[in-house]
Every structure is written in structure tokens, then in C-alpha cells.
Amino acid sequence: DLGNTRVQIFSLNQPSTGGTTAVFKVVEPNKIYVDDDDDNTEPTIYIAVFVGNRVEKWTKGATHGVQIGDECRSCSG
């Protein structure tokens, strides 16, 4: 939800009546990857953030993301 600085979850098996906010206070989230490979933990969300050209890692219950790697000022794609 780019304009509201958040990432929402929608069920694929039910009609959409509204999403549940999974991540908040993310300025201009661009692309999202969900890693749910580990059966012992909750899924981890990786968000490509347009502002700052970086990737943030979010875990369940987090109040802020952790930057992964360095910023990339001249990246595209």
C-alpha cells in the first residue's frame, strides 16, 4: 500500500473485504518477497524500499525493518 506506507496481507482463498497490515511505517515499499521456508519460525518479509534504495528485513512483531546490505544509488530493476 504505497500511499499509506504499509504492506498488507490478503487471503487468496476468500473475497477481499480489506487487508491486514503486516508491516507499517515503510516509506515507498516497491517489491516484496516472503520467505516461509523454515517450519519453526514465522515468515520473514523482505521489502525493496524505493526511498534510500535498500532492502529491509521484517520479522513478525518487528517495529522497524533491518537493512540488508548496502544502499544502491544507481541500481535499477
Low-confidence spans in the chain with pLDDT less than 50: none
Nearest residue to 29 via CA among 4, 63, 64, 12: 4
Structure confidence at residue 40 (pLDDT): 66
Look up cell 499509506; give the residue: 4
Q: How far is CA 20 from CA 9, 38, 55, 72, in A?
A: 5, 22, 22, 30
pTM: predicted TM-score of the whole model, two decimal places:
0.74
- Where helices occur in the chain by DSSP H, the ranges are none
Residue 52 is which amino acid? Answer: G
Which amino acid, residue 69? G
Per-residue pLDDT of 55-74, as tens digits, reads: 999 988 888 889 998 777 66
